[in-house]
Amino acid sequence: MLNIVLFGPPGAGKGTQSTKVIEKYNLIHLSTGDILRAELAAKTELGIEAKKYMDAGELVPDEVVIGMISSKIDENKDSKGFVFDGFPRTQKQALALDRLLKSKNTAISMMLSLEVEHNELIKRLLNRGKDSGRADDRNSEVIEKRIKVYNSETTPVIEYYDYQNKYKSIAGMGTIDEIFNNLCVAIES
Ligand code: AP5
Ligand code: MG
Protein backbone atom coordinates (compact mmCIF):
# COMPACT_ATOMS: atom_id res chain seq x y z
CA MET A 1 0.00 0.00 0.00
CA LEU A 2 0.98 3.61 -0.51
CA ASN A 3 0.07 5.54 2.64
CA ILE A 4 0.93 9.23 2.60
CA VAL A 5 0.63 11.80 5.37
CA LEU A 6 0.12 15.14 3.61
CA PHE A 7 1.21 17.64 6.21
CA GLY A 8 1.39 21.42 6.55
CA PRO A 9 -0.11 24.48 8.23
CA PRO A 10 -3.67 25.76 7.66
CA GLY A 11 -3.91 26.99 4.06
CA ALA A 12 -0.82 25.07 2.92
CA GLY A 13 -2.84 23.32 0.19
CA LYS A 14 -3.33 19.90 1.81
CA GLY A 15 -6.91 19.55 0.57
CA THR A 16 -6.17 20.96 -2.89
CA GLN A 17 -3.20 18.66 -3.45
CA SER A 18 -4.86 15.59 -1.87
CA THR A 19 -7.52 15.67 -4.59
CA LYS A 20 -4.84 15.50 -7.27
CA VAL A 21 -2.69 12.89 -5.51
CA ILE A 22 -5.57 10.45 -4.89
CA GLU A 23 -6.63 10.69 -8.53
CA LYS A 24 -3.16 10.04 -9.93
CA TYR A 25 -2.23 7.21 -7.56
CA ASN A 26 -5.72 5.76 -7.02
CA LEU A 27 -5.80 6.31 -3.23
CA ILE A 28 -8.47 7.15 -0.67
CA HIS A 29 -8.55 10.70 0.76
CA LEU A 30 -9.05 10.88 4.53
CA SER A 31 -9.35 14.45 5.81
CA THR A 32 -10.29 14.75 9.47
CA GLY A 33 -11.35 18.38 8.86
CA ASP A 34 -13.74 17.29 6.07
CA ILE A 35 -15.12 14.42 8.18
CA LEU A 36 -15.71 16.77 11.11
CA ARG A 37 -17.45 19.35 8.87
CA ALA A 38 -19.69 16.59 7.46
CA GLU A 39 -20.61 15.55 11.02
CA LEU A 40 -21.38 19.17 11.80
CA ALA A 41 -23.56 19.57 8.69
CA ALA A 42 -25.46 16.39 9.70
CA LYS A 43 -25.84 17.85 13.23
CA THR A 44 -24.55 14.68 14.89
CA GLU A 45 -23.54 14.75 18.54
CA LEU A 46 -19.90 14.43 17.51
CA GLY A 47 -20.25 17.35 15.08
CA ILE A 48 -21.88 19.61 17.62
CA GLU A 49 -19.20 18.81 20.20
CA ALA A 50 -16.39 19.40 17.67
CA LYS A 51 -17.78 22.75 16.49
CA LYS A 52 -16.69 24.50 19.71
CA TYR A 53 -13.07 23.63 19.08
CA MET A 54 -13.12 24.22 15.32
CA ASP A 55 -14.70 27.67 15.52
CA ALA A 56 -12.04 28.69 18.05
CA GLY A 57 -9.19 27.32 15.90
CA GLU A 58 -8.30 24.72 18.53
CA LEU A 59 -7.70 20.99 18.15
CA VAL A 60 -10.55 18.55 18.69
CA PRO A 61 -9.58 15.95 21.38
CA ASP A 62 -7.29 13.16 20.13
CA GLU A 63 -9.70 10.33 21.07
CA VAL A 64 -12.43 11.78 18.84
CA VAL A 65 -10.33 12.05 15.67
CA ILE A 66 -8.51 8.75 16.25
CA GLY A 67 -11.87 6.95 16.51
CA MET A 68 -13.04 8.59 13.27
CA ILE A 69 -9.93 7.60 11.33
CA SER A 70 -10.06 4.05 12.65
CA SER A 71 -13.56 3.48 11.28
CA LYS A 72 -12.70 5.08 7.91
CA ILE A 73 -9.69 2.76 7.49
CA ASP A 74 -11.95 -0.20 8.25
CA GLU A 75 -14.49 0.97 5.66
CA ASN A 76 -11.80 0.99 2.93
CA LYS A 77 -10.00 -2.31 3.55
CA ASP A 78 -9.34 -3.09 -0.11
CA SER A 79 -7.90 0.27 -1.13
CA LYS A 80 -4.44 0.75 -2.64
CA GLY A 81 -3.63 3.19 0.14
CA PHE A 82 -4.58 6.45 1.81
CA VAL A 83 -3.73 10.12 1.80
CA PHE A 84 -4.10 11.40 5.36
CA ASP A 85 -4.88 15.15 5.26
CA GLY A 86 -4.92 17.09 8.52
CA PHE A 87 -4.15 13.94 10.52
CA PRO A 88 -2.06 13.18 12.56
CA ARG A 89 -1.85 16.57 14.26
CA THR A 90 -0.24 15.44 17.54
CA GLN A 91 2.37 12.82 18.40
CA LYS A 92 -0.37 10.88 20.18
CA GLN A 93 -2.37 10.73 16.93
CA ALA A 94 0.76 9.70 15.00
CA LEU A 95 1.39 6.83 17.40
CA ALA A 96 -2.25 5.72 17.20
CA LEU A 97 -2.11 5.80 13.39
CA ASP A 98 1.01 3.61 13.35
CA ARG A 99 -0.75 1.11 15.61
CA LEU A 100 -3.91 1.09 13.47
CA LEU A 101 -1.97 0.54 10.25
CA LYS A 102 0.20 -2.14 11.84
CA SER A 103 -2.91 -4.09 12.81
CA LYS A 104 -3.80 -4.04 9.06
CA ASN A 105 -0.25 -5.20 8.17
CA THR A 106 0.67 -1.91 6.58
CA ALA A 107 2.44 1.36 7.53
CA ILE A 108 2.95 5.01 6.59
CA SER A 109 5.14 5.18 3.47
CA MET A 110 6.12 8.85 3.75
CA MET A 111 5.20 12.18 5.28
CA LEU A 112 5.18 15.09 2.80
CA SER A 113 5.25 18.48 4.50
CA LEU A 114 4.19 21.53 2.46
CA GLU A 115 6.26 24.60 3.30
CA VAL A 116 4.43 27.90 2.75
CA GLU A 117 5.27 31.41 3.98
CA HIS A 118 3.08 32.83 6.74
CA ASN A 119 1.77 35.79 4.72
CA GLU A 120 0.75 33.51 1.86
CA LEU A 121 -1.22 31.28 4.30
CA ILE A 122 -3.14 34.29 5.62
CA LYS A 123 -3.81 35.54 2.09
CA ARG A 124 -5.14 32.16 0.89
CA LEU A 125 -7.38 31.62 3.92
CA LEU A 126 -8.89 35.11 4.00
CA ASN A 127 -9.56 34.77 0.29
CA ARG A 128 -11.29 31.42 0.73
CA GLY A 129 -13.20 32.83 3.72
CA LYS A 130 -15.14 35.14 1.42
CA ASP A 131 -17.26 32.24 0.19
CA SER A 132 -16.25 28.96 1.86
CA GLY A 133 -18.82 29.14 4.63
CA ARG A 134 -16.10 27.91 7.00
CA ALA A 135 -16.49 29.76 10.29
CA ASP A 136 -12.77 29.35 11.00
CA ASP A 137 -11.80 31.28 7.82
CA ARG A 138 -13.90 34.32 8.52
CA ASN A 139 -11.56 36.41 10.64
CA SER A 140 -7.83 36.83 10.88
CA GLU A 141 -7.82 36.25 14.65
CA VAL A 142 -9.05 32.65 14.31
CA ILE A 143 -6.74 32.10 11.32
CA GLU A 144 -3.73 33.30 13.38
CA LYS A 145 -4.87 31.06 16.25
CA ARG A 146 -4.98 28.01 13.93
CA ILE A 147 -1.44 28.75 12.72
CA LYS A 148 -0.25 29.22 16.31
CA VAL A 149 -1.79 25.88 17.34
CA TYR A 150 -0.11 24.27 14.31
CA ASN A 151 3.28 25.68 15.35
CA SER A 152 2.98 24.65 19.00
CA GLU A 153 0.97 21.41 18.97
CA THR A 154 1.35 19.96 15.48
CA THR A 155 4.93 20.61 14.30
CA PRO A 156 6.30 18.00 16.80
CA VAL A 157 4.76 15.41 14.44
CA ILE A 158 7.61 16.25 12.00
CA GLU A 159 10.15 14.87 14.48
CA TYR A 160 8.06 11.74 14.87
CA TYR A 161 8.33 10.91 11.15
CA ASP A 162 11.84 12.29 10.74
CA TYR A 163 12.98 9.76 13.35
CA GLN A 164 11.51 7.03 11.12
CA ASN A 165 13.22 8.55 8.03
CA LYS A 166 9.84 9.25 6.43
CA TYR A 167 9.76 13.06 6.53
CA LYS A 168 10.17 14.99 3.26
CA SER A 169 9.93 18.77 3.03
CA ILE A 170 8.09 20.01 -0.08
CA ALA A 171 8.16 23.54 -1.55
CA GLY A 172 4.53 24.66 -1.24
CA MET A 173 4.75 28.11 -2.87
CA GLY A 174 3.91 28.63 -6.55
CA THR A 175 1.09 27.39 -8.74
CA ILE A 176 -1.04 24.39 -7.82
CA ASP A 177 0.48 22.41 -10.71
CA GLU A 178 4.06 23.29 -9.77
CA ILE A 179 3.46 22.11 -6.20
CA PHE A 180 1.73 18.95 -7.43
CA ASN A 181 4.80 18.23 -9.53
CA ASN A 182 7.04 18.65 -6.45
CA LEU A 183 4.85 16.11 -4.62
CA CYS A 184 4.93 13.58 -7.47
CA VAL A 185 8.73 13.77 -7.64
CA ALA A 186 8.92 13.04 -3.91
CA ILE A 187 6.37 10.22 -4.10
CA GLU A 188 8.21 8.52 -6.94
CA SER A 189 11.77 8.95 -5.63
P1 AP5 B 1 -8.71 21.29 8.60
O2 AP5 B 1 -9.93 21.18 7.83
O3 AP5 B 1 -7.68 20.24 8.50
O4 AP5 B 1 -8.10 22.72 8.28
P5 AP5 B 1 -6.61 23.30 8.29
O6 AP5 B 1 -5.54 22.38 8.69
O7 AP5 B 1 -6.73 24.55 9.08
O8 AP5 B 1 -6.29 23.53 6.83
P9 AP5 B 1 -7.17 23.99 5.64
O10 AP5 B 1 -8.12 22.91 5.26
O11 AP5 B 1 -7.73 25.33 5.92
O12 AP5 B 1 -6.03 24.18 4.55
P13 AP5 B 1 -5.40 23.16 3.52
O14 AP5 B 1 -3.98 22.94 3.87
O15 AP5 B 1 -6.27 21.97 3.30
O16 AP5 B 1 -5.40 24.07 2.22
P17 AP5 B 1 -6.44 24.12 1.01
O18 AP5 B 1 -6.04 23.16 -0.04
O19 AP5 B 1 -7.82 24.11 1.51
O20 AP5 B 1 -9.07 21.43 10.15
C21 AP5 B 1 -10.07 22.33 10.60
C22 AP5 B 1 -10.28 22.16 12.10
O23 AP5 B 1 -10.78 20.85 12.36
C24 AP5 B 1 -9.03 22.29 12.98
O25 AP5 B 1 -8.75 23.63 13.29
C26 AP5 B 1 -9.43 21.46 14.19
O27 AP5 B 1 -10.30 22.18 15.03
C28 AP5 B 1 -10.22 20.31 13.57
N29 AP5 B 1 -9.35 19.16 13.21
C30 AP5 B 1 -9.14 18.66 11.97
N31 AP5 B 1 -8.31 17.61 12.02
C32 AP5 B 1 -7.97 17.43 13.32
C33 AP5 B 1 -7.12 16.52 14.00
N34 AP5 B 1 -6.44 15.57 13.35
N35 AP5 B 1 -7.00 16.65 15.34
C36 AP5 B 1 -7.69 17.59 16.02
N37 AP5 B 1 -8.50 18.50 15.44
C38 AP5 B 1 -8.65 18.42 14.10
O39 AP5 B 1 -6.08 25.58 0.43
C40 AP5 B 1 -6.46 26.76 1.13
C41 AP5 B 1 -6.93 27.81 0.11
O42 AP5 B 1 -5.83 28.19 -0.72
C43 AP5 B 1 -8.00 27.31 -0.85
O44 AP5 B 1 -8.91 28.34 -1.11
C45 AP5 B 1 -7.22 26.92 -2.10
O46 AP5 B 1 -8.01 27.05 -3.26
C47 AP5 B 1 -6.09 27.92 -2.09
N48 AP5 B 1 -4.84 27.41 -2.67
C49 AP5 B 1 -4.35 26.15 -2.57
N50 AP5 B 1 -3.17 26.04 -3.21
C51 AP5 B 1 -2.90 27.28 -3.72
C52 AP5 B 1 -1.81 27.80 -4.48
N53 AP5 B 1 -0.78 27.04 -4.84
N54 AP5 B 1 -1.86 29.11 -4.82
C55 AP5 B 1 -2.92 29.88 -4.46
N56 AP5 B 1 -3.98 29.45 -3.75
C57 AP5 B 1 -3.96 28.14 -3.36
MG1 MG C 1 -8.00 21.21 4.25
CATH number at residue 100: 3.40.50.300
Query: Residue whose CA is closest, atom 6 of ligand 1?
Result: 10
pLDDT of residue 150: 98
How do residues 67-76 score in pLDDT, each as one tens digit? Answer: 999 999 999 9
Ligand 1 contacts (CB < 6 A) are 8, 10-16, 32-33, 36, 53-54, 57-60, 65, 86-87, 89, 93, 124, 128, 136, 146, 175-176, 179
Distance 162 CA to ligand 2 centre (A): 23
Residues 146, 128 contacting (CB under 8 angstroms)? no
- Cα separation, 166 vs 148, whole angstroms: 24
**How many domains are contained in the chain?**
1
pLDDT for position 132: 83
From ligand 1's centre to the CA of 34, what distance in Å? 9
State the closest ligand 1 atom to the C-alpha of 57, by its place in the atom list counted from 1.
25
Look up the domain containing 169 and give its range: 2-188
Beta bridge partners of 28: 82
> Starting from the edge strand earliest in sequence, which strands make up the sheet with 167-171, in order?
28-31, 82-85, 4-7, 110-115, 167-171
| Res. 77: pLDDT tops 90 | no
Confidence of residue 133 (pLDDT cuts 50, 70, 90): confident
Query: Which atom, in ligand 1's list, is nearest to the CA of 31?
Result: 3
